Copies of this chain bind each other. A is one copy, B any other.
Amino acid sequence: MSEHIVTAFDQDLKQLAGKIAEMGGLAETIVNDSITALMRMDGELAQSVIQADRRLDALQFHIEDQSVLMIARRQPMAGDLRQIVAAMRTCNELERVGDLAKNIAKRVIAIGGELRSKKLAIGVEHMAELAMVQLKTVLDAYTQADAETAKLVRERDEEIDRLYTSLFRELLTYMMEDPRNITFCAHLLFCAKNIERIGDHATNIAENVHYMITGQQLTDERPRSDEIELADFDSDN
């Protein structure tokens, strides 16, 4: 590979990292806004979340296309290839985070009125705060190529899962106490589930970051059958 081509490749990689950072920042913003919209029952803010999610979708397709083109054009070797694959996977996760925030925003519009009682929603807000910290931390770990922090994010996901389980029960109790809570709490159940899944996607990104840096899969749960071949790629080409 000539000096010129290597430099062009590095530029491509930098551009890719920049787009992921843009996507990450946008995903954080729309998660935050969707929760604010929920707590304030702010339909206008909810609408803006739905709009912003379209930008996230566009960015995902852009990154996916650019990644495929880079692989085809530059035939990158192990470490570089891993970086591109991690970018593709991460943008896929961020797009899903955006969808989940959009779902929350749509529920705000579906509820379409006053917050029935702040008390009912407070647990959802608390869970969302944890999920947002997870998302922010893992995006920093991605930017700084920090495998250790990524690992910590993955371990902390349990806390969100536990919170979700107790919140599920709590919301059912409110429903049983007063049938007038049922519709509102049903929507909150879905919001809580969406947040729990945002936490899962932060975990998936953490696994990508770890893989990108170390070439090793963190997970024993998610079988990644032939990934070893990515590392074998050099010798084969």
Contact residue among B179, B186, B223 (Cβ-Cβ distance under 8 Å from A189) = B186
A4 CB, min distance to chain B CBs, angstroms: 16
Question: Which of these binds chain B: A32-40, A119-127, A130-138, A226-234?
Answer: A226-234
Asked if residues B225 and A65 are in contact (CB atoms below 8 Å), the reply is yes
CB under 8 Å from chain B, chain A span 52-110: 54, 57-59, 61-62, 64-66, 68-69, 71-73, 75-76, 81, 85, 92
- For residue A226, which residues in chain B have a CB less than 8 angstroms away from its CB? 61-62, 65-66
- For residue A58, which residues in chain B have a CB less than 8 angstroms away from its CB? 223-225
What size tier do the contact residues of chain A reach? 35 or more
CA distance A182 to B173 in the complex (A): 9
- For residue A9, which residues in chain B have a CB less than 8 angstroms away from its CB? none
Asked if residues A61 and B227 are in contact (CB atoms below 8 Å), the reply is yes
- For residue A172, which residues in chain B have a CB less than 8 angstroms away from its CB? 182-183, 186
Given contacts A179-B176, A193-B190, contact A225 B61 (CB under 8 A): yes
